[in-house]
């Protein structure tokens, strides 16, 4: 493999991450335009409805470099789109600018694209090289690709453990994270469309579930309350940010406690995959599950998860609620102060697994 191709694609991936959490329901995409081993243009898709990465890269080319565009190579983290959405197809732009070579990391699974963008470029004489840093590119586009190909949100599980394997106590809230870890969790909240907790966690912790320690918007707060256990004084029912209460009852008969609270009626008997399908139809592309062990287990047992982030603090509880066990082979591990964070990806996404890390 040409190492320069990896270098420029890695730059494009870094650019794509600059808009993490801001492009939903679109994916984050980065693009780099290279002429004779010199970057003459680069850009990224900053927000939904705004120009795509390819457009921004070409717009950034200085006037004195404009004549080099046709003989340049365009590196894009995701297959260029070939369908009309809120913006014109990027394949049209590439063809119009007479760019002769395009390098991509992975395909866009969106309906109407999914290989058709590559085929269209090749039909117009553009050389297309695929699969450069493919695994990194696929991870970058995973939220979008899961949403459009499986019609469900991308699911991230998050749990905090004590050193002896407990996740809390039934009678009161237990803090199992340090301030540095709180900031990381709030960054995760910025990354997703929605955050979900169960009524048990809501009753014990009375959480705000907002993004207060990282820049960006608050996620939609989703709480299944099918048995009407939530009291009206819960914090998330009255502070800023949208809140969805999943219920079986007609919301018109039970007015919400504040304007930002919306009842979402789920038919009785709907299983967890069905709930996720419903949320996808409501536009939720990704969801962070910060519930207790019962909720986490329900996602694991239903095989409805894509990524898991588990933190373990140095603190011992001695007793309490035991968290799910059996986690092996984390794909990444970091330490923040007294807390260890392990990242797991669903086995369906793994090409290999080295237990030694």
Task: Cite the active site residues.
Answer: 54
Q: Which contiguous run of DSSP H or E holds residue 140?
A: helix 134-140
Residue 9 three-state SS: helix
Show the tokens assigned to 349: 């996404």
Show the tokens assigned to 338: 């007294």
- Cα–Cα dist 222/302, whole Å: 19
How far, in Å, are 253, 295, 341 from residue 236 at the CA level? Answer: 21, 19, 27
Q: How many beta carbons lie within 10 A of that of residue 63, not counting itself?
A: 6
CA 29 to mean position of chain CA atoms: 13
Place of tokens 């070939």: 82
Place of tokens 């949208």: 242
Q: How many beta carbons lie within 10 A of that of residue 302, not counting itself?
A: 14
How far, in Å, are 18, 252, 288 from residue 238 at the CA level? Answer: 32, 19, 21
């Amino acid at each position: 493999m040409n190492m320069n191709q990896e270098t420029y694609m890695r730059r494009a991936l870094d650019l794509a991450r600059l808009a993490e959490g801001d492009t939903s329901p679109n994916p984050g995409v980065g693009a780099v335009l290279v002429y004779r081993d010199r970057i003459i243009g680069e850009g990224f898709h900053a927000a939904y409805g705004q120009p795509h990465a390819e457009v921004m890269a070409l717009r950034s080319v200085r006037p004195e470099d404009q004549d080099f565009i046709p003989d340049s190579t365009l590196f894009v983290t995701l297959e260029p789109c070939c369908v009309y959405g809120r913006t014109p197809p990027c394949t049209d732009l590439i063809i119009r600018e007479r760019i002769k070579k395009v390098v991509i990391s992975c395909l866009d699974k969106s309906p109407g694209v999914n290989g058709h963008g590559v085929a269209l470029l090749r039909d117009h004489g553009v050389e297309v090289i695929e699969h450069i840093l493919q695994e990194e590119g696929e991870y970058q586009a995973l939220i979008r690709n899961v949403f459009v190909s499986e019609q469900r949100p991308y699911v991230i599980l998050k749990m905090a453990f004590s050193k002896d394997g407990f996740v809390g106590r039934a009678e009161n809230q237990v803090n199992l994270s340090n301030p540095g870890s709180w900031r990381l969790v709030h960054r995760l909240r910025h990354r997703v469309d929605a955050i979900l907790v169960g009524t048990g966690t809501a009753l014990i912790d009375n959480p705000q579930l907002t993004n207060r320690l990282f820049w960006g918007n608050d996620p939609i707060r989703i709480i299944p309350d099918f048995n009407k256990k939530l009291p009206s004084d819960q914090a998330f029912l009255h502070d800023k940010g949208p809140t969805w209460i999943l219920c079986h009852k007609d919301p018109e008969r039970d007015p919400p406690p504040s304007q930002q609270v919306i009842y979402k009626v789920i038919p009785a008997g709907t299983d967890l995959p069905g709930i996720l399908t419903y949320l996808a139809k409501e536009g939720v592309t990704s969801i962070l599950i910060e519930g207790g062990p019962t909720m986490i287990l329900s996602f694991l047992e239903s095989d409805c998860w894509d990524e898991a982030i588990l933190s373990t603090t140095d603190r011992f509880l001695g007793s309490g609620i035991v968290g799910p066990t059996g986690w092996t082979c984390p794909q990444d591990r970091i330490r923040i102060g007294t807390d260890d964070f392990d990242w797991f990806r669903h086995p369906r996404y793994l090409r290999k697994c080295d237990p030694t890390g």
